[in-house]
Chains A and B, each alone.
Chain A
Amino acid sequence: MGDTTFSKSDYLKTREDLGITDDRGVTAMAELEARESGMLNPIVDPAINPIRRSMIRLVAENKHWVAKLGCPMDIEVSCDTTASMQDEVDNQMRVLPDMYEAIAKVLQGYDPQLCLGIFGDCVDDFVLCRPQYEMEAPKIVRYLNVMAPQRGGGGNGGEDPQYSMLARAYLTDAYTNNIGLKGYHFIITDEPCHHDISERQIRRIFGENIFDNELKEMKGAIKSIYGIVSDLKSKVHAFALIVDGHYHSDEAYESYCNLYGRKSVIRIDSTEMLPTIISAIIGLTEGTVEITELKERFGDDMDSELIKQLSNIEIGAQMKLRHAMKRPVPKAGDIFAKKGDLWPIQPGELSEDEEAEETVADIIKYL
């Protein structure tokens, strides 16, 4: 478990096991069940164990724990599934192998962990579906399969991804943040973002007891969306990808430029391009791709318009964070004294203490 990654063969086998034979209607059954039960599937319900985790994966070896795959890199994509975006889960399922492969190429030495969620509008039955960060195809395919896109949106001039931003900012335990790096967060939409953040909606989405537990500090003091975006950006490289050519695309673009800053908003022709765009953004931010290499690395997908937009992002932002770290980023093969340690053992510190033993408690519990 600590050393397996996404594979296309696993992806295809899981699709077959789950009866996903078509690229359309991947979530039809889940949507029906959600309508009838009034509940989301627990593995995507943000109210069930609200904290999402992206942890370094360690394997017991000899007397210690070894990071077989290196530092995790949390990548969250939260996609609008209202109205004209309603088939996005189908698209994500179809492009998933390409997405993982493209991301892995620009994150060599890292363990990419994907949280692919969806959002709608507060007028819908369900506002947000948010799974755990996963690395292996069977789990990702499974959670996509049980999403319940609402396909509505309310026609009220915007949607509500701000709860996805809140979730990443305050309901996520990411190893990257613990060592001084940032993960990645992408909003994919064609509508402006509503600015309302209410206690009522937070309880509705994340559970009635959320302010007694995970969001204790926010009780009676909910930040504005600008405060939430500021906190979000302290944890992730945040981007909004605006699907062009839809009714409110121009307003959506201005809305996110206002919230995120122009450098963090990209206009795209279609979500078919997500593997290319997301991996290009990550590569430029990590410093593993240079702006002059975009055409060569990504081919015809990379037209001059997209190159212009990508040249505008904060290139090398993650490099700056790596440079400021007191220790190098943990890599594959690094040895940790015990699970839960933040840093690997430094040379000369290896000890002959108790055997490392993986227990049931070490495995992150989720349904």
Chain B
Amino acid sequence: MKIRGIEVDPNDFFAQTKRFRVYLGNSDKDGPVILKVAKTFDDNDVLNEDAATFTRLAANSQEIDEYETSLGGGNRSRFDLLFASLLSTFVEASQGDRRINVYRVPDTKLSKLLPLSKLKADYEIDARSCVWMIGRILKFYILFEKDKMDGKETVARYPDFYPEDFLIGPERHRVIYYNYSGGEDDSIADGHIKAIAKFFLEWIVVNDEAEQRLYNLLKDFSEHGRSEFYDAHSNLYALASELWGRGVYYPFTYRVRGTIAWQKQKEEEK
């Protein structure tokens, strides 16, 4: 069926939560897009909050980009690559006045992305492979600190960390926040950094001394947190640079869980 120039199969949703479904569609104007559709009129609220979150992210990212551009030089942070771009949000009368949010994913193909939760469920990774994922997630959260740093808010409000909310493109090291699950905490970054670290600690496999040092840093994050995401981000990349050098591309290194070869290896490791 077609809704406002977007072709979408109503029987084939990509994901769902209690209050909305996620579809992949194709827009006449914008190409492949993600649609979130509220399940009922009363569920419109959660997509209002979702749209508000992405609007805030885009505004903060644009402000940083404008500032960096004004400084000259080519080195821009490109925070806009870290989250889906909200193209439109509307209440669709033909769908019972349910809200629909439409997103485009920056700079990569939708077909090459997997939810972070699914990636963890299906693949085992070495510790070094998690650096760019954690780094980008921490960088993403820095966007929520911006208004506090500018003195416009007295607290920063961070959405809770849910791995389902992030899409990962392993090939191009893409981490894209595409969903706001709700839950905001206006405390310091501490609790969120601990949650992120714990998630990865349960996932990664340590193969050598360098990876062990990385593991130790994540353990420290998980036990003591950090007061700001910026600090955690700096600590992570300072260690990674020391261990493996700056800006060195490391391919996503994994083993598929559940295969015979994986099981054999697990037994040998015991």
A-side residues, CB < 8 A to B, are: 254, 267, 287, 290-292, 304-305, 307-308, 311-312, 314-316, 319-320, 323
Contacts and interface: CB of A to CB of B under 8 A. Distances in A.
A269 to B, nearest CB: 13
A319 B97 contact: yes
B51 A291 contact: yes
B59 A292 contact: no
Interface stretch (B15-23, B29-37, B81-89, B229-237): B81-89
B241 interface: no
A58 B63 CA distance: 50
Contacts of A315: 48, 51-52
Q: Specify which of B48, B90, B97, B99 lies most central, judged by the most chain A CB atoms within 10 Å of its CB.
A: B48
A292 B91 contact: no
A312 B88 contact: no
Interface residues of B, number: 22
Interface of A is mostly: helix
Interface in B61-100: 62-63, 86-91, 97, 99
Given A291-B51, A315-B51, A316-B91, A323 B56 contact: no
A234 to B, nearest CB: 19
A323 B52 contact: no
A312 B56 CA distance: 9
10 contacts: A290-B88, A290-B90, A291-B51, A291-B55, A292-B86, A307-B55, A308-B56, A312-B56, A314-B48, A319-B44
A311 B89 contact: no
B51 A292 contact: yes
B152 A292 contact: no
Contacts, number: 50
Contact of B55 (A254, A311, A316, A319): A311
A287 B91 CA distance: 8
Interface of B: 41, 44, 48, 51-52, 55-56, 59-60, 62-63, 86-91, 97, 99, 147, 152, 154
A267 B153 CA distance: 11
Contact of B63 (A287, A304, A320, A323): A304
A305 B59 contact: yes
Contact of B52 (A304, A305, A312): A312
Nearest to B102: A292
Nearest to B51: A291
Contact of B91 (A304, A308, A314, A319): A319
A291 B89 contact: yes
B51 A307 contact: no
B48 A307 contact: no
A320 to B, nearest CB: 8
Given A304-B59, A305-B152, A311 B52 contact: yes
A261 B59 CA distance: 22
A315 B99 CA distance: 11
Main SS at interface, chain B:
helix
B55 A292 contact: yes
B59 A316 contact: no
Contacts of B154: 254
A312 to B, nearest CB: 6
A304 B62 contact: yes
Given A308-B147, A311-B51, A315-B51, A290 B63 contact: no
Nearest to A306: B59
B51 to A, nearest CB: 5
Given A291-B52, A319-B91, A308 B59 contact: yes
A316 B45 CA distance: 8
B143 to A, nearest CB: 11
Most buried by B among A254, A267, A312, A316: A316
Nearest to B41: A323
Contacts of B152: 267, 305
Contacts of B44: 316, 319-320
Contacts of A305: 59, 152
A339 B57 CA distance: 51
A299 B55 CA distance: 16
B60 A308 contact: yes
B82 to A, nearest CB: 17
A90 B44 CA distance: 41
Contacts of A304: 59-60, 62-63
A290 B99 CA distance: 11
A307 B59 contact: yes
Contacts of B59: 304-305, 307-308
A112 B134 CA distance: 52
A292 B86 CA distance: 8
Nearest to B88: A292
Contacts of B48: 314-316
B93 to A, nearest CB: 11
Contacts of A292: 51, 55, 86-89
Contacts of B41: 323
A320 B87 CA distance: 23
Given A292-B51, A292-B86, A307-B59, 17 more contacts: A267-B152, A290-B89, A291-B51, A291-B55, A292-B87, A292-B89, A305-B59, A308-B60, A308-B147, A311-B56, A312-B52, A312-B56, A315-B48, A316-B44, A319-B97, A323-B41, A323-B97
A304 B61 CA distance: 10
A285 to B, nearest CB: 11
| Minimum-distance CB pairs A-B, first 5 | A304-B59, A311-B52, A311-B55, A315-B48, A308-B59
Contacts of A291: 51-52, 55, 89
Nearest to B48: A315
